[in-house]
Amino acid sequence: MVIILKENADSHQLENLISWLREQNLKVHMSEGVKQTIMGLIGDTTAVDIDMLKALDIVEDIKRIQEPFKNANRKFHPLDTVVNVGEAFIGSDELVLIAGPCSVESREQICSVAKSVKASGAKLLRGGAFKPRTSPYAFQGLRENGLELLLEAKKETGLPIVSEIMDLSQLRLFENVDIIQVGARNMQNYELLKELGRTNKPVLLKRGLSSTLSELVLSAEYIMTGGNEQVILCERGIRTFETSARNTLDLSAVPILRGMTHLPVLVDPSHSTGISKLVLPMSLAATAAGANGLIIEVHNDPPHALCDGQQSLTPEMFDDVARRVFAIKPFSYSFHS
Ligand code: PEP
Ligand code: MN
């Protein structure tokens, strides 16, 4: 349920109302917008007397929320959430590019990719240290050492870093990682999500391979109910009957999620297509559809990459993608217009 307050509501009456709602075992979430202040109520509101609330001087309107997600709901929080990391404002009007290799492979590799993607306009560096590979015989990542190399690349370039956590036990190693990624395979690892909700780190939450958008948002809700509101959603392609690309990029997810929630929405054109030649057209399309940013795999030597070389761009290809997406950004769809 949300309570929309009248402009300039009396602060004493407001405090009384909040205390009364808390006595009813409801959690009160305040959201101050430009025009309106909204109180989101979390908990069992079935016994709340709506007519009594509506009659209060300070109340403009009351709405029941049908959706099962509250904290992530746009109705609770009409303004966009903006996650600030380094120089990036993810969720604002800027298009944020996150780029880097699928996996960190060596100091030379990660530092050289970091420098080139930064020169092309990327604001964050990605790199997997713990890799969720389909085959147990495939390269599993450099683990702790991979995170250390990422930190060295951060020191050299100043780019904040994004890396994937696969298990709760790894959390202590992520202290200096700027954004913790939860991969598609872990989107419904609820214990992990709850623990991340108790941290104050931004979380990049990728859509599960066969998850609906509502399931994705409910996973974000798990993080947010713990108190961590810095959640970034990512559409990375889903499983369909189509086999000509690695996955099917569901671009309608972008405007749908922007309407359902106030959280930033990124698109991953690399994992959604699995083919480097498709990354440019899908990056342009995602930008046009209103994505807040793109996360793109870039490798200094894609044919010899230890993971996902077929979908990785060379630094030159990334530079071209970056120039083109920045060029079309002013013409892209905006949720607010
Ligand atoms: C990745 O970003 O490296 C990754 C494994 O992505 P996803 O979880 O979307 O497959
Ligand atoms: Mn990858």
The fraction of the chain above a pLDDT of 90, given in percent, is 93
**In the predicted structure, residue 32 carries a pLDDT above the cut 90:** no
CA 133 to chain centre: 22
pTM for this model (two decimals): 0.95
> Which atom number of ligand 1 is nearest to the Cα of residue 132?
5
Give the model's pLDDT for residue 66: 87
Digit-coded pLDDT (tens) for 190-200: 999 999 999 99
Q: Kindly report which listed range (52-66, 128-142, 180-194, 260-274) carries the lowest average pLDDT score.
A: 52-66
Mean pLDDT of 220-244: 97
For residue 185, report the distance from its CA to the centre of ligand 2, in Å.
Answer: 12
> Which atom number of ligand 1 is nearest to the Cα of residue 103?
3
Do residues 99 and 318 make contact, with C-beta atoms less than 8 angstroms apart? yes
Out of 126, 135, 150, 181, mutate this one to test ligand 1's pocket (max ligand atoms within 8 Å of CB): namely 181
Q: Per-residue confidence at 144, pLDDT binned at 50, 70, 90?
A: very high
Q: Per-residue confidence at 47, pLDDT binned at 50, 70, 90?
A: confident
The fraction of the chain above a pLDDT of 70, given in percent, is 100
> Which atom number of ligand 1 is nearest to the Cα of residue 234?
9
Residue 302 token pair: 């894609």
Mean pLDDT of 164-176: 97
For residue 128, report the distance from its CA to the centre of ligand 2, in Å.
Answer: 8
**In the predicted structure, residue 231 carries a pLDDT above the cut 90:** yes
Helix, strand, coil shares of the chain as percentages rounded to 5? Answer: 35, 20, 40
Q: Per-residue confidence at 8, pLDDT binned at 50, 70, 90?
A: confident
Q: Per-residue confidence at 1, pLDDT binned at 50, 70, 90?
A: very high
Q: Where are the alpha helices (DSSP H) in the chain?
A: 11-23, 50-54, 107-119, 144-157, 190-197, 213-225, 253-260, 269-273, 276-288, 315-328
Digit-coded pLDDT (tens) for 275-299: 999 999 999 999 999 999 999 999 9
Q: What angle do CA 74, 26, 59 make, to 5 degrees?
A: 65
For residue 56, report the distance from its CA to the centre of ligand 2, in Å.
Answer: 54
Residues within 6 Å of ligand 1 by CB? 102, 128, 132, 164, 183-185, 206, 236, 268, 271
State how far the Cα of 214 lies from the Cα of 67, in Å rounded to an integer.
9
**In the predicted structure, residue 337 carries a pLDDT above the cut 90:** no
Ligand nearest to the CA of 185: 1
The CA R_g of the chain, rounded to the nearest whole Å, is: 21
State how far the Cα of 309 lies from the Cα of 302, in Å rounded to an integer.
5
Give the model's pLDDT for residue 280: 98
- Which amino acid, one-letter code, is at 335? F
For residue 76, report the distance from its CA to the centre of ligand 1, in Å.
Answer: 30
Cβ-proximal residues to 252 (8 Å cutoff; 6+ apart), any chain: 289
For residue 20, report the distance from its CA to the centre of ligand 1, in Å.
Answer: 45
Digit-coded pLDDT (tens) for 313-334: 999 999 999 999 999 999 999 9
> Which atom number of ligand 1 is nearest to the Cα of residue 236?
9
